[in-house]
Structure 1
Amino acid sequence: MELPTNHSVLLETIGQLWTINRKRYVEWEILIAKHTFDAFIEGSIMKEYSAVIAVTANIFSAISGEARMICAYEIVRQRFGQEYSLYSRMRAPWNEMDGDDMRREGYFYSALAEFFFQNPDQAFLVGRYNIRQIALAWKVGMKITVDLVKEPAPLEAGEGLVLQYL
């Protein structure tokens, strides 16, 4: 299917495909053209859907504020089979939403959400005051740990992630 203009239409369409009495398995694909305005539409839909998930999902109560939104985006990522979190996408110009920098940031936010899910009582350790330092101590493929969050040691120049869309 082509990407609809808002999350309500998307959820209604998916809901119709997954009705309770469905006799046959239904598989669906959403077509999104990369490096086009579709990235903005997809980001807008995921932002709306993640806001709903943040309020309604069974996310541990110790995870709050921005950490909760990061987790909601990760739930959406997993549900829709996306490669990486789209958490920071709406902060970028639309023509940069599919770039390599955005992809790396998406992997970072997916790893950060996994940290929150695995350590909900430690979610308070991450905030705008230290997220840049944590990113500089992280690279794609690394797991974020309590030690990395408490004492982020920057990697060698060019290895750590520089957040551009915070």
Structure 2
Amino acid sequence: MDPITLLAASITPRQMQSYMACRAQADALLQKIGIIIQSLTNIKAEGHRLLIYVKGPMSAREVRDMLQHAGFNTFDFCDSSHSRGDRASGLAKFNDPGNSEFDALVTSYRLGAGRGDFYGACHRGVIVEFSDDIRTLYRARQSLDHIGQTETPRWVTMYINHTYDAQDEFQLAQQEATMIIEAPELHQSLSTDFTVPPIDERITGQHRIICAFEILQQIQLTGFSKYPRARMDWSGMDMPESNLEGQLYAAVGRFLMANPTTADKFTKQTMERIALRWEPSKELSMDRVVGNCPALPNGVRIYNYVMPGKGRDML
């Protein structure tokens, strides 16, 4: 009997779910470090160094150890053995264009986002693990910005399909969609590269949430809405059916924003029929919404991978 089967027989389903999530996170981190090692060779050859964000000290230590083993000098800003002076010295070296001691610096959000200035010599950043808060993530991505900069920093957010990244990313998407609805001015101040369109006040409830997720889709350029993921387990979020369902909800969001008086057409009773009449990669039309077109033989199926008890109020 394999170890996972043995473990499943001795713990509760909830504990097993937590174990599988932790295992998926650990596997994803190892994959990401491997990708960083491959990329850092080119980054270093181009004369750049790399700022790396992780969730906490354990991940930071793992990143540092593997990068060091691969031959890249890495400063661990989270190392508890460092004194305040050690951190200041390491940061000064990392920020000094004339000092090439460190190829990379790894930090947590607690020590880095909004608290550390990492500019001066570094113009490349990577988000290895997602933060728990969307505003913290935005602050982290501003860590390399400074007045008078001559080179625009480049950021990469790492994401491994079919891992717990899906849940971590969705939690941030949900926070950002809520911010778009409840604090649009604050959201615009964070999302400075994108002019956030207003949502018509006549659009309310779940319809408004669908529109907020579509605005987020336009910011992230994913091609699909993450709205349906609110009712899914993380293990189903990256499945093709889930992404296709997300494409439908993105189209619904765009249709609602263009036609704010039609919200009553989208109900729990009509959504499945609308989905079956919608052709992927096409915009929704009024004919497809109200049923003047027949269902397509390959129409989109919604309510995929729904977890019991999740999404009761959703469309």
TM-score of Structure 1 vs Structure 2, range by shorter chain: 0.7 to 0.9
**1:63 and 1:23 mapped to 2: Cα distance?**
43
> Does structure 2 retain, via aligned residues, the 8 Å contact 1:62–1:120?
yes
Is 1:63 the counterpart of 2:203? The answer is: yes
Structure 1 residue aligned with 2:254 = 114
The equivalences for 1:62-141 within 5 A come to 62-141=202-281
> Does structure 1 retain, via aligned residues, the 8 Å contact 2:273–2:295?
no
In the superposition, relative to structure 1, how do residues 125 and 16 fare at CA in structure 2: closer, same or farther (>3 Å)? farther
Is 1:163 the counterpart of 2:296? The answer is: no
- Structure 1, 31-40 or 11-20: larger mean CA deviation: 11-20
Is 1:6 the counterpart of 2:133? The answer is: yes
In the superposition, relative to structure 1, how do residues 147 and 18 fare at CA in structure 2: closer, same or farther (>3 Å)? farther
Q: CA deviation at 1:30?
A: 0.9
> Does structure 2 retain, via aligned residues, the 8 Å contact 1:112–1:144?
yes
Q: CA deviation at 1:129?
A: 2.4
Q: Which runs of 5+ in 2 are unaligned?
A: 1-126, 185-197, 305-314
**1:68 and 1:56 mapped to 2: Cα distance?**
14
Is 1:38 the counterpart of 2:38? The answer is: no
- Aligned-residue RMSD, C-alpha: 2.1
In the superposition, relative to structure 1, how do residues 77 and 20 fare at CA in structure 2: closer, same or farther (>3 Å)? farther
Q: CA deviation at 1:26?
A: 2.6
Q: CA deviation at 1:42?
A: 0.6
TM-score, L = length of structure 2: 0.48
Number of residue equivalences: 165
Which of the pair is proportionally richer in strand?
A: 2
Q: CA deviation at 1:39?
A: 0.5
> Does structure 1 retain, via aligned residues, the 8 Å contact 2:255–2:284?
yes
**1:130 and 1:15 mapped to 2: Cα distance?**
43
Q: CA deviation at 1:36?
A: 0.4
What letter matches 1:160 in structure 2? Answer: G
**1:96 and 1:103 mapped to 2: Cα distance?**
10
What letter matches 1:81 in structure 2? Answer: L
Percent identity between matched residues is: 27
- Structure 1, 144-153 or 129-138: larger mean CA deviation: 144-153
Greater relative contact order, per chain length (Cα 8 Å cut-off, separation 6+): 1
Residue deviations 1:95-147 (CA, integer Å, cap 9, x gap):
11100011100110111111012112222321222111111111211211122
Higher-Rg structure is 2
Q: CA deviation at 1:19?
A: 6.4
TM-score, L = length of structure 1: 0.87
